[in-house]
Amino acid sequence: MTLNEILIAYLLFALSGAVTMMLIIYFPAIKIIAQLAPNHPILHPMGYGAGAVIMFVIFLLSGPMMLIILARRDSFLENFIRGLLND
Q: Which residue has the higher pLDDT, 67 or 79?
A: 79
Residue 64 pLDDT grade (very low, low, confident, very high; cuts 50, 70, 90): confident
pLDDT tens string 8-29: 999 999 999 999 999 999 999 9
Domain that holds residue 49: 3-85
Distance separating alpha carbons of residues 40 and 5, to the nearest angstrom? 43
Residues 51-74 have a mean pLDDT of 90
pLDDT at position 16 is: 92
Cα dist from 10 to 44, 47, 49, 73, whole Å: 34, 30, 26, 23
Please give the tally of structural domains in the chain: 1
Q: What is the pTM of this model?
A: 0.83
